[in-house]
Amino acid sequence: MAKTSETTLPVTRAERGLSRPWFWDEPSGTVNRFAREMERRLEDFGVPRGLFFNVPKEVEEASWMPEAEFFEKDGRLVVRTDLPGLNKEDIKVEVTNERLVVHGERKREKEEKGERFVRSERSYGCFYRTFALPEGVNPETVKATFKNGVLEVTLAVPPVPETHTRKVEIEERPATVPTKAA
């Protein structure tokens, strides 16, 4: 089963005006499980996949999901993703005004002659993670570093939009008396 995730950074909608999270947020999420089950059942009746629940290709092809943490520090949002066993060249980071995307691939190493696995718990293949960003993020402020198997992406926290409140006076209209029709 494809593993992917989108996680909203640790700011509330009220504080930062977060954009609406992407529909396919957690692979184990209730909505995602329901959508996949519905597609499977509809396919039995000849309905093609993707007609009702359009899952992006990247999500379908992802075979594992790296762990991540996110926090705010010194006026910057920080996203750390654990990617042990990968090199910088195996990872791609992309950002738009609405989302941070981290994706790549962990390739299986060549088996040595005489090597026999009793058990392997490592995940191989493509991964794809997305994070919804607060409204107003400037993609030019994003920086990424990779050290000891940990990818750290930082970006400037966007300013909180000012809220303007104005008291509205309520006018009173004189009551009208209905007239009888003759």
Answer yes or no: is pLDDT of 13 > 50. Answer: no
Q: What residue spans define the domains of the chain?
A: 5-108+123-156
62 token code pair: 């992802």
Answer yes or no: is pLDDT of 145 > 90. Answer: yes
Task: Return the pLDDT at 21.
Answer: 40
Of 14 and 152, which is predicted with more confidence?
152
Question: What is the per-residue pLDDT across 24-65, written as a single tens digit (0 to 9) for each?
Answer: 444 445 566 677 777 778 888 887 766 666 555 555 555 677
Picking from 9-18, 68-77, 81-90, 115-124, which range would have the lowest pLDDT averaged per residue? 9-18
Q: Which fold has domain 5-108+123-156?
A: Immunoglobulin-like (2.60.40)
Question: What is the per-residue pLDDT across 61-102, written as a single tens digit (0 to 9) for each?
Answer: 556 778 899 888 998 999 999 999 899 999 999 997 688 989
pTM score of the predicted model: 0.57
* Position 173, amino acid: R
Task: Return the pLDDT at 53.
Answer: 62
Picking from 136-145, 154-163, 167-176, which range would have the lowest pLDDT averaged per residue? 154-163
Answer yes or no: is pLDDT of 2 > 60. Answer: no
Task: Return the pLDDT at 82.
Answer: 93
From residue 56, alpha-carbon distances to 38, 82, 96 in Å are: 16, 23, 17
From residue 86, alpha-carbon distances to 81, 90, 146 in Å are: 12, 6, 10
Task: Return the pLDDT at 19.
Answer: 35
Sign of CA dihedral 12, 57, 44, 47: positive
Task: Return the pLDDT at 23.
Answer: 41
From residue 41, alpha-carbon distances to 34, 36, 49 in Å are: 11, 9, 10
Q: Please give the Cα distance from 28 to 165 (Å, whole number).
A: 41
Residue 166 burial (CB < 10 Å; 0-12/13-18/19+)?
A: exposed
